[in-house]
Amino acid sequence: MVIKIACKKPGFRRCGMEHPAEATYPGGKFTPAQLRELKAEPMLVVVEVEGDVPAEKPAGKKGPKAE
């Protein structure tokens, strides 16, 4: 499971962290109490979805060049 959080005001802080406009976290990132607090926060939209956090691309790697 993953936790997707959309923040209505990027940079808003809750549960000891700054939230960007959108982020995806692994299911175990937050304690049950933190998850309840995040879901209760009107500035955040929190959705739990099945699946895994997408792997990040290595730094400096871009898609194929368009010629």
Q: pLDDT for 9-47, tens place per residue?
A: 999 999 999 999 999 999 899 999 999 999 999 999 999
Residue 52 has a pLDDT of 76
> What are the phi and psi torsion angles at 8 (to 5°)?
-70, -20
Fill in the DSSP letter of residue 29: S
**Between residues 61 and 36, which one has the greater pLDDT?**
36
8 Å CB contact between 10 and 19: yes
Cα distance between residue 61 and residue 40, in whole Å:
38
Fill in the DSSP letter of residue 16: T
Residue 40 has a pLDDT of 97
> What are the phi and psi torsion angles at 49 (to 5°)?
-130, 155
Q: Does 65 have pLDDT greater than 60?
A: no
Residue 54 has a pLDDT of 66
